[in-house]
Structures are given as C-alpha cells and as structure tokens.
Amino acid sequence: MKLIFRQKIFSILDSYDVYSENGNTAFKVKGQLAVKHKLKIYDPQGNELGQVNEKMISITPTFDLYENGKKIGSIKKKLFKLIGTSYSIDSLGWTAKGNFVEWDYSIHDSNGNLVATLGKQLLNVTDTYVLDIVNPQDALHVLMFVIAIDAEKCSRNKNNG
C-alpha cells in the first residue's frame, strides 16, 4: 500500500493531506494550537482516528500516540547514532532508521521484518513523503511515525535558526 503525505502550502498550524496511490484522500492531519506539536488524524469523513502529541519535557524528542482517545505508546528518538537517525516505537516493538540526511527511513518490527519504507520527495514546494506500507492495517501507525519525525525536524529547525 502506498500513501502520499503532503503538507498544505498555506497553513498556519501543521496541516497535511494524505492520499492513496490512486489520488483519493486517505487521511487528514490537522495541527492544534499548543506550545509543542499536537496533531490529530482524521479519516476522509472527518472522524478522529488518532493523535500525536510532542512531550513537553524529555531528554530526547518524544511523542505520545493516541488511538481512539487512548494512549497506545510513544515514539522516541534515540540519543546517540553516528550516522543517520533512529527511533523506537515502543508499543509496537518497531524501530525506524533514517539515512544521514533524514529523508529516507525504513521501519522494522521486533523480528526484523520490514513494516514500511518512507522517502521524502525533493522537488516539491512543501514537505512530501511517499509511504510504502507492507500491511495496510499498519497505515495509521506508520502515518503517526511520519508525523512525529516531521514535527521533530520542524522543532529542531526552529531551535537552530
């Protein structure tokens, strides 16, 4: 299953549309006014499916994940990595590794099986990622990961500039 994750051009708060490979809207992501990133995920009909909230205080960037209003776990950036970046998705036992420019990622389960790959498309006006998901049932959780890494990079860029 492929999804295209595209940031909206004119949006004060983080806002994204996620499309299926045939061009239909699969998810909508809307940011909330908050000190740290707080993003809600909706289906095309406007029903809330999940939420990704950046923790206020943590040693490394951490995002709490909610599905149907219940906390299901966290995504944490690993502190030390020589080349690229690495994240853990605790509740699922997933790990994600990114290349040194942090544009391409692969997510594996606890047995080393591929869950998804993500790649950033470079020739776009806004941040755009292609998500190639092995099992369509994992789409929401993979989307939560992409939202968290994009928000973490955004926070890091604000703090550095």
Task: Report the alpha-carbon distance of residue 23 to residue 4 in Å, rounded.
Answer: 9
pLDDT exceeds cutoff 70 at 160: no
Provide the token pair at 41. Answer: 């995920």
Token match 């869950």: residue?
A: 115
Strands (E), 21-143: 25-31, 38-42, 48-54, 62-67, 70-77, 85-89, 94-98, 104-108, 114-120, 128-133
- Residues in Cβ contact with 45 at an 8 Å cutoff, skipping those fewer than 6 apart: none
CATH fold label, 2-160: Porin (2.40.160)
Token match 């006006």: residue?
A: 125
pLDDT band, very low/low/confident/very high, at 27 (cuts 50, 70, 90): very high
Token match 């292609």: residue?
A: 130
Task: Please answer whether residues 156 and 148 qualify as being in contact, where contact means their C-beta atoms are separated by less than 8 angstroms.
Answer: no
pLDDT digits (tens, 9 = 90+) for 71-108: 999 988 877 666 678 888 888 899 999 887 677 999 99
How distant is the alpha carbon of residue 70 from its chain centre? Answer: 18
pLDDT digits (tens, 9 = 90+) for 41-80: 999 999 999 999 988 776 777 899 999 889 999 988 877 6
Question: Whole-number mean pLDDT of the chain?
Answer: 84
Q: What is the pTM of this model?
A: 0.84
Q: When comparing pLDDT for 23 and 151, which is higher? A: 23
